[in-house]
A and B are shown apart, each in its own frame.
Chain A
Amino acid sequence: MKVQSIAGLLPWSFFFAVFGLLPLLAALALSFYDMNPLRPDLTHWIGAGNYTRAVQSPAFWHALRTTAIFVVGTLPMTLTLAYLVAALLGRLRRGEALFRAAIFFPATLSMVVIALVFKSLYAEQGLLNGWLEAAGLPPVHWLQDPRLALPSIMLMDVWSSVGYYAILILAARKTLPIEQLEAARLEGMRAREIERRIVLPHVRPVILFVILLNTIRSFQIFIEVFVLTRGGPLESTLTLVYHLYERAFYHFEMGYACALAYILLFIVGLILFAQRRLGARPA
C-alpha cells in the first residue's frame, strides 16, 4: 500500500517538476543573462544588469503606474458592487439561484471573448456610439483616445469580475451566525446596524481576500490589452505583463523578460505577505 501510494504521486510530480518548477527556476537563472534566442552564441552573464535596466526604464515605471491606476480605479467599484449584489442575493427568498447564475456566468467566460464583445461595443461604429448618436451626442473614441482607453478597459474589468467576487462574499454570508442575528433583531437593532456590527466583521476576511485577488490580477492584466489596445494609444494601456510579452517575443530579449517576470513575482509575493498578515482568506 505504502509503495503504491507514492507511485501514484510520480506521474503528476514529473509534469509538475518539468513544466512547472523547472521553468520557474530557469526564469530566475535566465534573468541574470543577456539572451536572444536568435543569437544563442551571444548569450552571456550580466549579473543584475536586467534588473538595473528595468528600474531605470521609463516603460517599466509607466507599466507599474498603469497598474496602480487600474487597481485604484477598479477595486472600490468592483468591491462595492460585489458586496451590494451579495447582500441583495442573500436577502432574496426565492429565485436566488437564477439571479446568481446570471450574475456569476461572465466570470467563467474566456477573457478573449469578453474583450472581443467589448471591442465591438467600443468600436467607432459600435453600440455605445450608436446610442450616443441616437441621443444627438458626438461619438466617443473609447479605445483610441489616450485618456479614455484605460478607463474603458477598467470598466470592462469591473463588468467581468463583479459576479465572481459577489459569489465569494455570498458564500461568506451563508455562514453568518444566525443566533446572533436573531438576537440582534429581537433587541430591535436596525438592519443597517446589523450589517455594520455583525455582518461586516464576519465577512471581513473574504473582503480582504477579494482586495488581494483583485490587486494580484490587476498586475497580471494581459489579454484585455492584447485584444483591445496592444498597449496603446501612446502606451496609455501598457501593463507589466504586456511589456514582458513584447520584450520577449517581439524584441527577443528573453533574459530581460525573465527579470520582469521575477519583479512581478516579487510584487505579488509582497502583496500576499501584507495581506496574510491582515488575515485575508477565502470564505
Chain B
Amino acid sequence: MSRALVLLTAVALLSIAPLLYMARVSLGVGNALPIAPSDWWSGGFTLDHYRALGQGSGMGRFALNSLLVTGVAVPLQILLSAAAGHAFARARFQGNGVTLALATAFLILPRQVTLVPLYLLFARLGLLDTYPGLILPHLADPFGVLFMAHYYQTMSPEPEEAARTDGLSPRAIFWRIVLPLSGPGLAVVGVNGFLTTWNAFLHPLVLTTSESMRTLPVGLALFAQSEHSVDWGALLAGSTVATVPVLLAFLIFQRQIVEGLLQGSGR
C-alpha cells in the first residue's frame, strides 16, 4: 500500500512540477533561465512580468479576445446543444438517424480537414480577422448535441407531457420545463465547450491576420517566435494567465470534465 502511495506521489509531483516551474519563472526577477534550485525560494518574487503584460505586449488584448470569443461561443453552444439534443431525443422525423451518424462521424474525424475551406469561405464572406469568424466554427461542434441527445433519451418525458396536457406551448415547455431539468447535462457541455474554445489554436491561428485579433494561445505561440532572445518571464506569465481559468474550471467541474471526456469530447 505504501509503495503505491510513494509511486503515486512521484507521478503526481511530476505532473504538476512543470506548471509550478511556469508560475515560478513568471514571478521571478529578470528573464534568466533557469531558476537555480537555490533561487526557487530566495530568488525574489515580483509581479513585474504581469504588469508588463498589461502594458505593451498586446497580451492583455489577446486575453480579452479569448474571453470574448469564449464568453459568446459557450452560452450559444449550450443553447444550441439543448435545443437540438432535445429534438433528436423526442421527435421522430426523417433523416434523424442519418444526421446523428453524420454528427458522430464529424466528432471523430480530424478537424484539420475543414481548415482550408473555412479559410477560403471566411475570406469570401469577409469574416477573416473578425469576432464572428472566431466564434462561428465553434458552433458547428457536434459534441454537445450528441451528449444532450443521449442525456434527454435517459430523462423521463413525463414532466413535459404533464405540461403539454396543461396546455403549455412547446416553446414554453422547452424554456420552463426542459431547460431547468438539464443543468447537470449542460454543465458537461459547457465546461467541455469552454476548454475546447479557450484552448483552440489551429483555426484561430489561420482565421486571424492582424495582431489585435489574436486569441491568447495564438498570441502566446507567435510571441514565442517573434524575438531573437525570448522574454521567458513575460512568456510564462502569459502562459500562467492562460492557465488560471482552466485551473478554476477544473477545480469546480472536474467530474463534468471527466464525464465529457468519457463520452468523447474534444479529441
Contact = CB atoms under 8 A, between A and B. Distances in A.
Interface of A: 1-9, 11-13, 15-16, 18-24, 26-27, 30, 37, 81, 84-85, 88-89, 91-93, 95, 98-99, 101-121, 123, 125-127, 129-131, 134, 159, 162-164, 167-168, 171, 213, 216-217, 219-220, 222-223, 226-227, 230, 241, 244-245, 248-249, 254, 257-258, 261-262, 264-265, 268-269, 272, 282-283
Nearest to B220: A112
Contacts of B119: 248-249
Given A91-B1, A127-B35, A226-B205, 16 more contacts: A7-B87, A13-B84, A23-B113, A88-B11, A109-B199, A110-B199, A113-B217, A116-B22, A116-B235, A117-B236, A121-B21, A130-B33, A163-B15, A167-B261, A244-B115, A248-B116
Chain B, interface SS category: helix
Contacts of A98: 12
B182 interface: no
Most chain-B CB neighbours within 10 Å: which of A3, A5, A134? A5
20 contacts: A2-B93, A4-B174, A5-B86, A11-B83, A15-B80, A16-B106, A19-B114, A22-B121, A24-B109, A26-B120, A26-B121, A92-B8, A103-B15, A109-B19, A115-B221, A117-B22, A120-B236, A248-B116, A254-B120, A264-B112
Nearest to A244: B112
Q: On chain B, which size bracket covers the interface?
A: 35 or more
A19 B140 contact: yes
Contacts of B15: 102-103, 105-106, 159, 162-163
Interface string B247-263: 10110001001100111
Nearest to A256: B116
Given A91-B4, A159-B18, A9 B33 contact: no
A110 to B, nearest CB: 4
B220 A261 contact: no
Nearest to A124: B33
Nearest to B239: A113
B53 to A, nearest CB: 14
B84 A258 contact: no
Contacts of B92: 2
Contacts of B137: 19
A164 B195 CA distance: 14
Interface centre among B15, B170, B199, B230 (most CB of A within 10 A): B15
Nearest to A105: B250
Interface of B: 1, 4-5, 7-9, 11-16, 18-19, 21-22, 25, 32-37, 80-81, 83-84, 86-88, 90-93, 99, 102-103, 106, 108-110, 112-121, 123, 136-137, 139-140, 142, 145, 164, 169-171, 173-174, 195, 198-199, 201-202, 205-206, 217-218, 220-221, 224-225, 230, 232, 235-236, 239, 242-243, 246-247, 249-250, 254, 257-258, 261-264, 267
A21 B106 contact: yes
Tell me what chain A mostly uses at the interface: helix, strand, loop, or mixed. Answer: helix
B118 A23 contact: yes
